[in-house]
Structure 1
Amino acid sequence: MTPKGPYKLCTVNTAPDRAKLLIGRVVEDVKDTYTIKHVENCERVEDVRSMCERNQPDVLFCASMWTKEESDEIQRIAREIVPGIRTMAIPQGLQVEKGPDAVVDFVKGKWPSLVAA
């Protein structure tokens, strides 16, 4: 079976190395089913617009350091630039409270329904 995709993924995370590492784990774990290309991370809400304009991503993730209000704003900007983009906010504090494995598991658990939408 050919993997679905490729899906262009952008992330908004103030720790870009961690974003790359965790998304890399997700990409590796689901590669038989989905092809995901992590094309860019930005570290500030102010940079979301230009990142989305440059990359026209299929999917955008907000990391767990953002508040609900910040995540909502990030996702609103992304949808304004890329109609039909699929967005997801990782629950605030998940990385700090439960660690990187919990983030990877959360993303892998949500991915199929996110991209099926």
Structure 2
Amino acid sequence: MSSPKGPYTLVTVNTAPERAKRLIGRMVEALKDRYTIIHVDNCESMPPTLHLESNARMKLIQRTAIEEVAPKVTQHKPDVLFSASMWSAEQAAEIQSIARSIRPDIKLHAIPQGLQVERGPDAIVEYLLENVPALLDAE
């Protein structure tokens, strides 16, 4: 028996971080004999924070999940990034463009919009199990 390929580090872009962690965990467990996948982080909307500006004024800043992509990809340099089914095709393309601008060789995958809402969490896991091997095996 050969050892699993990897490790592959993964960042997700999902405004429901606990669900992302749970579903990715199920995928990782199901694929563990073939791949070592480490879910290192999730891009999610950040709560508003106060920042001190150079003129000593306070500014309230809130970053959206998409705005979290650049800092998380810069920080973790992941091998793989998944965008969740809540994103439109245009938003998924923006997420992928941001990630690729920082890490040109990143493997990207957008889960089809609406899959979670229409078919539920089991459909997401099933979809990932069908699609992730080809993504990871592609050179």
Q: Distance in 2 between matches of 1:116 and 1:25?
A: 20
Q: Distance in 1 between matches of 2:133 and 2:12?
A: 18
Gaps of 5+ in 2: 45-64
Provide TM-score, normalisation by structure 2.
0.83
Query: More helix per residue: 1 or 2?
Result: 1
1:75-86 equivalences in 2 (<5 Å):
75-86=96-107
Partner residue in 1 for 2:68: 47
| Aligned mate of 1:99, from 91, 109, 120 | 120
1:10-31 residue CA offsets vs partner (Å, 9 max, x unmatched): 0000000000000000000010
Q: How many residues align?
A: 117
Provide TM-score, normalisation by structure 1.
0.98
1:31-76 residue CA offsets vs partner (Å, 9 max, x unmatched): 0111000000011101100000000000000000011110000001
Which consecutive segments of 4 or more residues in structure 1 shift more than 6 A?
Answer: none
> What amino acid is the match of 1:38?
H
- Cα shift at 1:113: 1.0
> What secondary structure, in the 3-state scheme, does the structure 1 residue paired with 2:100 have?
helix
Gaps of 5+ in 1: none
